[in-house]
Amino acid sequence: MKTLILRITLSIFLGLTFIGCEDFITQDPKYLLTPEAAITDENSAQNLLNGAYAAVGSNDYTARFSGGFSSMLGSYQYNSSAYNMNMQATGDNDALWKIFYTTINRANAVLENVSKLPDDSFKNPARKKEILAEAKGLRAFAHLYTFWYFGRWRDEPSSEYGLIFRDQMAELTNVYQPRLNIKDSYDRIIADLDEAIANCPNYSTGKRVSKQLAKGLKAKLLLNRGWDNDYKEALVLVNDVIQEATAVGIILEPSLTKLYENSWDSKELLFCRYREQTDDVVSAYNFTYGYNYAITGLPTVTLAKAILESDSRFGEGWGMVRYPSLTPNTTNFRPKKLCRKGRFIGGDNDKYTTYFLRLTELYLMQAELKYRTGEPLTAAVGPINTIRFRSNLGPLAPATPTAFEKLLFDEYFKELNLENDADWMASLRLKGANGQAMIYEFRGGTVALEEDRFVWPIPTSEIKFNKLIKQNPSYESLVY
């Protein structure tokens, strides 16, 4: 039995798709090969990298990915245990852990096999270094979100509750590993991001890792971590991306409506979920329709509903969409920026994406970082007003730090609700009128908040069989 379990566990990590490059990322593998036999030249190296990107196109990167953060914030009740701060070690928890490490393992397959190729195997001598840098950026992305969900990333540097950092393809000899401490976890992710910043190509599409994406992710890491000099370094990175944006083709869309219409083709997106095939949602229901079947209606927290409905952007992001069934002309009120056209047979069922990072978020980060590095409120509010002007909203001028932090949190929430981690993380960084983290004001006493429960438990599949790993505090009594 133990051998069988180990084989099943390894199969999660070792599954690789090799994908033809005439399509960018085709989710269904065209052929399966062992990396040693298949990776012989630039074409096959690119195919292997495409297979790593395909993992990010999976359904687990839709509702599960952002719904977990939104449920903890209390703005939506996608995951009821997360909404009640009583997360379990199965279900979404297990699925996220597995898809993050599947992504990491595919990136490691690229790094291990492409690095062995002679430089003269590449028609373009620079492409080998770029492929390896993209793989490191993708590995950093998946490790970072593993850390934010499952690691105690807010702990002191010496805390033992960091990542399992995987830098090799999973094998019998390395499938079970202990956790790093917090400092080492950050150091390993930053090392990968620095490699991506140095050697990735400039931005050309939000479907791939770029130099600008790596800068943005590193800035997010530093902003959330908040150690000595982190804010100054993060501000330099954010300023760099905003200054480089026009030259490399990153733009603010003229409206949120246009952004949501363009979905993964929008030039505002630095990174997003992408799937080549969109034409049959019925047969691929759980794949492309994740948001609409999982997220029901308006926020349940009174303050969340009030913040959204007070702003004209609400009508661009929410509205009537087709119900997730084959019943003709049945509609419900849903986040239309995610649900899009709805489920039906035939035709183009459209581009269901997840907005991992977009330019708007960098402007809001820039405002926060200006504030945290001591710039006057009149300067710090500038990037917020830039975003508001895009939606034909007037400028704001907060007079006090408390007013600024409330304004900034509201902007994160109005712009980015349900898209990624941004509003959840902002609720932990920014303070409300009572001096506590904004999460306490936002939840308004609807649930008992314990900081130990601001991260999820290590899932059952890892705890039961990995004897080298320790569970996060406050989850030790879970039954596996």
The model's pLDDT over 324-367, given as tens digits with 9 standing for 90+, comes to 555 666 777 888 888 776 655 555 557 888 999 999 999 999 99
Residue type, 98: K
Note the pLDDT of residue 325: 59
Chain segment 236-279, per-residue pLDDT in tens: 999 999 999 999 999 999 999 999 999 999 999 999 999 876 55
Note the pLDDT of residue 20: 37
Chain segment 375-402, per-residue pLDDT in tens: 999 999 999 999 999 999 999 999 999 9
Q: Name the CA dihedral angle for 99, 226, 85, 165, rounded to a multiple of 10 degrees.
A: 30
Top pLDDT among 186 and 276 is at 186
Q: Are 363 and 277 in contact (CB under 8 A)?
A: no
58: confidence class by pLDDT, cuts 50, 70, 90: confident
Query: What are the CA-CA distances from residue 41 to residues 17, 63, 107, 116, 127 (Å)?
Result: 17, 37, 17, 11, 11
Note the pLDDT of residue 355: 96
Could you give the percent of the chain with pLDDT greater than 90?
A: 70
Note the pLDDT of residue 341: 66
Q: Could you state, in order of their start, the residue ranges of all structural domains in the chain?
A: 41-153+178-274+355-465
474: confidence class by pLDDT, cuts 50, 70, 90: very high
pTM over 0.75: yes
Q: Report how far residue 460's alpha carbon sits from residue 93's, in angstroms, rounded to the nearest whole number.
A: 9
29: confidence class by pLDDT, cuts 50, 70, 90: very low
Query: Two tokens at 147?
Result: 């850390």
CA atoms within 13 A on the CB side of 67: 27
Q: Are 459 and 89 in contact (CB under 8 A)?
A: yes
Q: Report how far residue 183's alpha carbon sits from residue 176's, in angstroms, rounded to the nearest whole number.
A: 21
What mean pLDDT value characterizes the chain?
87
Query: Two tokens at 474?
Result: 């406050």
Q: Stretch 76-102: mean pLDDT, rounded? A: 92
Query: Two tokens at 445?
Result: 């006493």
Listed residue (426, 357, 457) closest to 97, CA to CA: 457
Scanning 63-210, the segments in alpha helix (DSSP H) are: 63-73, 80-83, 92-114, 127-150, 182-199
Listed residue (335, 305, 301, 308) closest to 439, CA to CA: 301
Note the pLDDT of residue 300: 63
Note the pLDDT of residue 451: 96
Which of 55-64, 72-81, 158-167, 309-318 holds the top average pLDDT? 158-167
Q: Are 309 and 59 in contact (CB under 8 A)?
A: no
Note the pLDDT of residue 22: 35
Please tell me the least confidently modeled range out of 56-65, 155-164, 448-457, 461-470: 56-65
CATH code for the domain defined by 41-153+178-274+355-465: 1.25.40.390
63: confidence class by pLDDT, cuts 50, 70, 90: confident
SS3 content of the chain, % helix, strand, coil (to 5): 55, 5, 45
Question: What DSSP element (H or E) covers 390?
Answer: helix 382-390
Q: Is 17 a residue whose pLDDT tops 60? A: no
Q: Which residues contact 398 (CB under 8 A, 6 or more apart)?
A: 377, 381, 404, 406, 407
Cα 301 from chain centroid (whole Å): 23
Top pLDDT among 257 and 4 is at 257
Q: Is 138 a residue whose pLDDT tops 60? A: yes
3-state secondary structure 256-269: HHHHHHHHHHCCCE
